[in-house]
Amino acid sequence: MSVLVTGGAGYIGSHTAVELLNAGKDIVIIDDFSNSKPEVLENIKKITGKDFKFYEMDYADREKLEKVFEENNIDSVMNFAGFKAVGESTKKPIEYYINNVSGALVLFDTMRKYNVKKFVFSSSATVYGPENPIPYKEDMPVGTASSPYGSTKIFIEQILKDIYKADNEWSVALLRYFNPIGSHESGLLGEEPQGIPNNLMPYIVRVACGQLKELSVFGGDYDTPDGTCIRDYLHVVDLAKGHIKALDKLNEGNGVYIYNLGTGVGYSVLDVVNTFMKATGKDVPYRITERRAGDLPAFYADATKAEKELGWKAEKSLEDMCRDSWHYIEVSRKNG
Ligand code: WQD
């Protein structure tokens, strides 16, 4: 029996592939390298000492996807092939809906055809929208999405709930990620956004290595202790481990399970910058600038449900996240 990992060469997919292999699972990876590199697959093998089958393809290519299900004994699926850049999604809504929503439907339809009904979905804290109070809890109503990217998460959550309603043999986990940062401690896997990064940690790292001059801290006048926005940053390896626990849960019984994957602790932008400088000894020049449109002042998870029901708790500190994010850059540079 194998777990199909779509987008398994990407940032979160690759870290999860490592944890699946470490947990003794067989996996099959699909990736089209649209936002990842083939070397990642070698690095997954290097870290785990294990091999897996790989298909270079778009996960929404129905014909090829059917072949994957025919050639392998797949019993569950994790999908990391969604597009994830919030800003880009506002400029390319059609591409986002086609890849994230239509692609997911092709995947679900194919799963149904091959009687595979266990699915772990990479959802996002963004589904809580601006309406809900913090900390966010899983039983709060879904809010309003602030971008097409966010809408795709809300739509797919609803689609999966409807699929389960129609067929109780499905077992689905909706994992609402908060802000994943950090990299595998080996320095062999990490996040490599193309162009100028939009997210905080990739930007900090580029400033620290001198590729970018300074960090713009978006807004210093929020109603938070230091005036900068607060988020729930979690280490990507902790996040990856949450997927293994969720998969175990799906194997216990059918249903739709919703979990926040966060630490439950909020840190400000300046907390992250200062912890990064302390953890790495690198300087990160910054300047407080205008607020970024669409940013919420503060959100973080109530992470108690995942702990109670999955036995999952984020273990790594903000310092670990900063150190590992930087280590990845150092190792990548050394390896050219
Ligand atoms: C974090 C904080 C910025 C860059 C988004 C998505 C979410 C998830 C993760 C994933 C904010 C501030 C940032 C910079 C800054 N999606 N910042 N200067 O916006 O919380 O969440 O990414 O796939 O769904 O919405 O993350 O890392 O962009 O920002 O001051 O150059 O850092 O204002 O307060 P965000 P982020």
Ramachandran sector of residue 77 (left: φ over 0; alpha: ψ -120 to 50; beta: rest):
beta
Cis peptide bond prior to 135, omega within 30° of 0:
yes
Protein residue closest via CA to atom 30 of ligand 1: 217
Q: Is the CB of 269 within 6 Å of ligand 1?
A: yes
Task: List b or e across 172-202, with b for residues whose CB sees 16 or more CB atoms inside 10 angstroms.
Answer: bbbbbbbbbbbbbbebbbbbbbeeebebbbb
Q: Which residue is closest in CA terms to ligand 1's atom 11?
A: 229
Ligand 1 center to 252 CA (angstroms): 35
Contact call for residues 72 and 53 (beta carbons, < 8 A): yes
Of 177, 179, 274, 276, the residue with max ligand 1 atoms within 8 A of its CB, to mutate for a pocket test, comes to 179
- Alpha-carbon span 157 to 152, nearest angstrom: 8
| In contact, 43 and 29? CB cutoff 8 Å | no
Mutate to test the pocket of ligand 1, among 142, 199, 287 (most ligand atoms within 8 A of CB): 199
Ramachandran assignment for 255, one of left (phi > 0), alpha (psi -120 to 50 degrees), beta (any other):
left
Mean of all residue pLDDT scores within the chain: 97
Question: Atom 26 in ligand 1: which residue has the minimum CA distance?
Answer: 199
Residue 115 pLDDT > 80: yes
The model's pLDDT over 272-302, given as tens digits with 9 standing for 90+, comes to 999 999 999 999 999 999 999 999 999 999 9
Q: Could you give phi then psi for residue 266, rounded to 5 degrees?
A: -100, 140
Grouping H, G, I as helix, E, B as strand and the rest as coil, residue 7 is coil
Regarding pTM above 0.95, the answer is yes
pLDDT tens column, 51-79: 999 999 999 999 999 999 999 999 999 99
**309 CA from centroid of ligand 1 (Å):** 28
| Residue 304 Cα to chain centre, angstroms | 19
Residue with tokens 């299900």: 69
Dist. CA 235–CA 24, nearest whole Å: 22
How far apart, in whole angstroms, are the C-alpha atoms of residue 157 and residue 102?
A: 13
Q: Which residue's alpha carbon is at the smallest distance from atom 32 of ligand 1?
A: 200
CA distance 275 to 215: 15
Ligand 1 centroid from CA 200, angstroms = 6
Mean pLDDT of 29-54: 97
* Residues forming the active site: 149
Q: Per-residue pLDDT averaged across 167-194, rounded?
A: 96
* Tokens coding 210: 């001198």
Which pLDDT score, from 0 to 100, does residue 234 have? 98
Q: Which atom of ligand 1 is nearest to the CA of 294?
A: 19
pLDDT at 126: 97
